[in-house]
Structure 1
Amino acid sequence: MGAQPAAELSAMKTNPKFIFFTDFDGTITLQDSNDFMTDNIGYGREKRRQGNLDTLEEKITFRDSFREMMDSVTKPYNECIQYLVNNIKLDPHFTKFYEWALENNIPVVVLSSGMEPIIKAILKNLLGPSADKMEVIGNFVKARPGKTINEERGWEIEFRNPESGFGHDKSIELRKYSSLPESVRPTMFYAGDGVSDLSAARETDLLFAKKGHDLISYCARENVPFTVFEDWYTILEKCKEITEGKTTVHDAAREGFEAYKSGTAGLKA
């Protein structure tokens, strides 16, 4: 199968020179909505955190660990959405970044291992009408046999790529863009924080990995270049430097490992 034509890719409609792909939970938001549900109305933080660690150590796939997390949440789906809308907060600097991106023809695309209806509801609550300009690509939700999703134990996650150990293999979407001819291929950014981002880590020109989180441990172990971010102010300033030609994605990508080795990435080398 050949590469998909640029005209068929939604984020290429305005012929951008840059595209920003991003994880959602714990990256755009201050809390991970799936972790928040699991910790508070599922089987709890201790078991959830062990699943994250087991995934990093390749003892279990992310898909299977995440399914166990979601299966532990038994409240009706509409109640879960409202619970998260009431509790999940936006990174305080994301709105400014998003406004800058819209003004500069830089599409922002959410690639998430969470469920699209939850993500869209949270974004709509946090960003208002401009949230509709952001493409969201994630997993789905479906009713369990004989039930509806809005009843107790009535729903389950439906993975976008069920054959993949990631459930949603973000690299599949990213490669549609990275495989474009050089004459039209945009520079690709990606921001993430955890184990759901492992499939995306190698696929973009510059990976922003959140300070103190699991993605940095993986990148350092696998020699994947990255730069560290604390919040979206950090990302905005770095993107401005790159788009204005003051630095390159290659220079920025070297910074992360140096920060990891020096201890300023929030994790011990």
Structure 2
Amino acid sequence: MSPVKAILFTDFDGTITKQDSNDFLTDNYGMGYEKRRALNKQVISGEKTFREIFKEMMDSIKLPFKKCVDLVLENIELDPGFNDFYTWSLENNVPVIVLSSGMEPIIRALLTKLVGESAQSIKIVSNNVKLEDEGNSWEIVYHDDSDFGHDKSSTIKKYLKPGRPILLYAGDGISDVSAAKETDLLFAKKGQDLITYCKQQNIKYTEFETYASIHERIAKIVDGTETVDSIVSK
């Protein structure tokens, strides 16, 4: 097995998947698109924390939890480039670690369906869910006490040691802002809130549309034909 040259930390919803499963449930079975977008803008402006608005979003969904899982399995699609990237990552010893503000049971169910049994080797660090009344009543259980509910930077910082591999992050939205400054290279999805935040905070990022472009750039870093600096400068 080749040595680990790079580690990819990645958001799940809207990054590995085409759609955000939490937004899908909120827009269609909760408070609706307009109210959700208004809350997102309040996080970007600093009026509210992500922890606050995400609980509002999840609390607005009144379906049994199993029904929520079934709906996302029926409707959420995988990014078209992720499976090829993930196969390459296994062959080239590039660990993939999911850092998510979503709920672990939904993420694991989607990965198993969309990627297959090999996805069991993907480490997931996320929020969870508390079920009551046989799942007819449920609420989100946050990963930590931070304003994010899940401070993604806390996991990344454990890897910031001398002689470490290159650390990479891929994300799309406001749940990713805590991780935005922590890795050597940030991939931010075109047209999404993470880019808005990076521009406001003068954070360097590399734009992507699908995992195919992430795959291409990470492969070049691993084989030595590109460096982090050369990719960021493009």
Range class of TM-score, shorter chain: over 0.9
Matches within 5 A, 1:110-149: 110-143=98-131, 147-148=132-133
- Give the Cα separation in 2 of the matches to 1:149 and 1:54: 34
Equivalent residue for 1:241, pick from 201, 216, 220: 220
Segments of 5+ residues of structure 2 without an aligned counterpart are none
Equivalent residue for 2:193, pick from 194, 211, 214: 214
- Paired residue for 2:140? 157
Matched residue SS, 1:199: helix
CA contact (8 A) 1:124 1:131 kept: yes
Distance 1:94 1:207, change over 3 A: same
CA contact (8 A) 1:111 1:137 kept: yes
CA contact (8 A) 1:62 1:165 kept: yes
Question: CA deviation digits over 1:6-58, x for unaligned, max 9?
Answer: xxxxxxxx852211110000000000000000000111000001111111111
Equivalent residue for 2:71, pick from 69, 83, 86: 83
Matches within 5 A, 1:1-269: 16-143=4-131, 147-148=132-133, 150-151=135-136, 154-161=137-144, 163-178=145-160, 180-182=161-163, 185-255=164-234
Deviation at 1:240, TM superposition (A): 1.4
Root-mean-square deviation (CA, aligned residues, Å) is 1.3
CA contact (8 A) 1:170 1:200 kept: yes
CA contact (8 A) 1:77 1:155 kept: yes
- Give the Cα separation in 2 of the matches to 1:148 and 1:169: 30
Q: Larger Rg: 1 or 2?
A: 1
- Give the Cα separation in 1 of the matches to 2:195 and 2:230: 17
Distance 1:168 1:15, change over 3 A: farther
Amino acid at match of 1:174: I
Amino acid at match of 1:224: I
Amino acid at match of 2:147: G
Segments of 5+ residues of structure 1 without an aligned counterpart are 1-13, 256-269
Q: TM-score, normalised by structure 2?
A: 0.97
Matched residue SS, 2:183: coil
Deviation at 1:149, TM superposition (A): 5.1
Question: CA deviation digits over 1:124-167, x for unaligned, max 9?
Answer: 01011111011111001013xxx32511xx10000001x21100
- Which structure carries more relative contact order (alpha carbon 8 Å, separation 6+)? 2
Q: TM-score, normalised by structure 1?
A: 0.85
Matched residue SS, 2:48: coil
Deviation at 1:253, TM superposition (A): 2.2
